[in-house]
Amino acid sequence: MRILAVDFGEKRIGLATSDASGQIATPRLTLRRRDDASATEEIARFCREEEVDRIVFGLPRTPDGAESPFASRIRSFARKFTESSGLPVDFHEETLTSREASRGLPAGSPKEEVDRVAAALLLEDYLKHRQAPR
């Protein structure tokens, strides 16, 4: 099962995919978001081309652990995406992935690279938690 992680932003959307076994996360690309309709179509096209079976959207949290105000915007976009694509969507906590991605890249790396790497970090954590014994 291939999984796509989405690091959603109003200007850019970072994407990362897992391998078919669901073990390895790879940063893939960053989309420029013009509006929700075109962004959902671009992501859906990418999912068809890459044979993605499931999507995970990152949800940021506040320092006290509550969902950040931006989380409702992400949920709204994810709802539009799943309505248009029919693909199942999960949500996973993603606080500070962009900061962590920035630290792991050379200084001055383009924001688009940070977005892709942040999506990969989100996906790595999601995969790790899916595989953890319960």
pLDDT, residue 100, reads 79
CB under 8 Å to 93, separation ≥6 — which residues?
58, 59, 60, 61, 125
pLDDT digits 0-9 by tens, 10-38 = 999 999 999 999 899 999 999 999 999 99
pLDDT, residue 103, reads 82
Report which of 7, 30, 21, 28 is spatially closest to residue 122, judged by C-alpha positions.
Answer: 7
Report which of 70, 49, 53 is spatially closest to residue 5, judged by C-alpha positions.
Answer: 53
Report which of 61, 67, 59 is spatially closest to residue 7, judged by C-alpha positions.
Answer: 59
pLDDT digits 0-9 by tens, 122-132 = 999 999 988 76
Cα dihedral 125, 126, 132, 134, rounded to 10, equals: 130
Domains along the sequence of the chain with CATH: 3-131 (3.30.420.140)
Specify whether the CB–CB gap between 45 and 39 falls below 8 A.
no
pLDDT digits 0-9 by tens, 36-73 = 999 999 999 999 999 999 999 999 998 898 999 999 99
Specify whether the CB–CB gap between 72 and 59 falls below 8 A.
no
pLDDT, residue 133, reads 58
> Considering the entire predicted model, what is its pTM?
0.91
Task: Name the phi and psi angles at 110, rounded to 5.
Answer: -60, 150
C-alpha 103, offset from chain centre: 18
pLDDT, residue 106, reads 75
pLDDT of 97 above 80: no
Confidence of residue 99 (pLDDT cuts 50, 70, 90): confident
